A and B are shown apart, each in its own frame.
Chain A
């Protein structure tokens, strides 16, 4: 029997008035996958997550989670979802442990079981010492970890993480990654959005890059890099000599400020020819990254 997708979307749309926030996207996510949504601000990632979470009704298209339609079965679907929202919405009237216990009750988990789960999860996200501390006394990283613990309180079959590491310092981000890796290894299906490309590259089995409500590309991080950036990229200091040289060579290149990036299947040859004939400044050959894919697909113009 073929495995059923955990989430399946077909021509999914969401309009806010005249704005097409999600403009006809299709994807399917299989059990055990870590699936990423990348894109600049306003791409429609959060809107897509909210439709999957059954809190924002779609405008058109098909969307099923666990094989159930999101409009008709929100309660059944939400029972098995763990959600880390983009905006921290911990209950500021409560301490850490009370947050987890109260949230567990919303799922019908109560009494000793709720207390045990809350204690275990605080341990998992390394917040046992903050057990009885009020939310306002936590650092940003601690809050995000507590939200992760909260999302796990109902032993979800699907985790949805909307920018799980937003605003965190590198230490806090690495700790979050470690926790997500552990969940991945345990076989969880995870959907996450991010605009940290390193995060996507590390965590995602497959990902899409979205912009202006549409999916631009889908694939594994490695495939996307190979197809859209090349395995290796030559970077050279910008000068008129270098540019005319590259034009003569007939290779594809782009100028970004005082750096020229050359995309070629033979990066080492390009670098050698540059050094021997064009009198360049510094020349680097480096591995292509998701960041190159992202920037080449979505452009460098600032979004906010």
Chain B
């Protein structure tokens, strides 16, 4: 004998998306694909910071000199790390996940196995976070070689890049879940990511902005929080906003993690 509920009686269990440890199998699938072509994959995180350091740090830095008593190249180094955390995870969980979901039907194949849709999306998010960790760590090595970040405090960036990566993965996955086609992912990419890249205390301090914008940036921009934390780590100087930004990221990461799974479930389970 077995016990069965009729569909109408299915309780609130359905509403809370709970992934299981099987998520690692999805993570592993993506990792296998990544490491098949790792040389190509490692090029951008190594070359990009070199270009930015040369052009902005030393080029523009000639004119800027110092910000808050910090050499400009030291000032932007943590911003480069934070931007790498954002880009590597956000774009993985938008365009790449969309391709897997919509064109390759990878998720459909996975949910025909004991994996649930919650496992699949959680695995994707964890992989996005891992990519952030991999890219940020590679970039960290370059920045250490240039001698523009403090040690050993900068090594804390490595675990932090996973957390921040998980946040941007979750945000990206929400857009993926509601995007009708791959082209409409350009909206969050250009209207959300690009402005955030510029107005998060990355290349100039937020304090030069009008107070309203300053407050808004600190209240709503995830990258602004990541920059504050990364900068505290690479300069070995605790920002007064460090605790605030950490809490902000912890809460937002949890929210977007479950929200993105919920939205994906709504899209894919029909």
Please report A residues at the B interface, Cβ cutoff 8 Å: 16, 53, 55-60, 62, 64, 67-69, 71-75, 78-79, 81, 83, 85, 87, 89-94, 98, 102-103, 105-108, 154
Contact indicator B29/A69 (Cβ below 8 Å): no
Q: B190 contacts the other chain (Cβ, under 8 Å)?
A: no
Number of interface residues of B (CB under 8 A): 27
Is A71 in contact with B112, judged by CB distance below 8 angstroms? Answer: no
Given contacts A55-B111, A56-B270, A106-B113, contact A91 B28 (CB under 8 A): no
> How far is the CB of B53 from the nearest CB of chain A, in Å?
33
Residues of B that sit less than 8 Å from A by CB: 2-5, 7, 10, 22, 25, 28-29, 32-33, 36, 104-106, 108-116, 269-270
Nearest opposing residue in chain A for B9, CB measure: A71
* A108-B114 in contact given A56-B270, A68-B2 (Cβ < 8 Å): yes
**How near does chain A come to B246, taking the closest CB pair, in angstroms?**
35
| Contact call B5/A103, Cβ cutoff below 8 A | no
Which A residues are CB-close (under 8 A) to B10?
71
Residues of A within 8 A of B106 (CB): 89, 91
In angstroms, Cα B198 to Cα A107, docked, is 45
Asked if B5 and A71 make an inter-chain contact with CB atoms under 8 angstroms apart, the answer reads: yes
- Does B33 contact A93, Cβ atoms closer than 8 Å? yes
What secondary structure prevails in chain A residues at the interface with B? loop
- Check A92–B104 contact: CB distance below 8 A: yes
Whole-angstrom CA separation of A74 from B10 in the bound complex: 14
Our count of residue pairs bridging A and B at CB distance below 8 angstroms stands at 77
- B-chain residues with CB within 8 Å of residue A55 when the two chains form the complex: 108, 111-112, 269
Inter-subunit contact B7/A59 (CB<8 Å): yes
* CB atoms of B110 and A106 under 8 A apart: yes
Given contacts A57-B269, A87-B105, A106-B25, contact A78 B5 (CB under 8 A): no
- For this complex, 21 residue pairs linking A to B, each with C-beta atoms less than 8 Å apart, are A16-B270, A55-B108, A57-B7, A58-B7, A62-B4, A64-B2, A64-B4, A69-B2, A69-B5, A71-B4, A72-B3, A78-B112, A78-B113, A81-B112, A89-B106, A93-B33, A103-B109, A103-B113, A105-B25, A105-B28, A107-B113
Most buried by A among B4, B5, B32, B112: B112
Contact between A83 and B112 (Cβ–Cβ < 8 Å)?
yes
Q: Are B112 and A85 in contact, CB atoms less than 8 angstroms apart?
A: yes
Q: Cα distance A85–B36 when bound, in Å? A: 27
**Contact (Cβ within 8 A) B112 A53:** yes
Query: Which residue of chain A is the closest to B268 with respect to CB atoms?
Result: A55
Bound state CA distance, A91 and B104, in angstroms?
Answer: 7
A56 to B10, CA, bound (A): 15
The residue of chain B having its C-beta at the shortest distance from the C-beta of A99 within the complex is B109
Is the CB–CB distance between A74 and B116 below 8 Å?
yes
- Closest-by-CB residue of B relative to A160 is B112
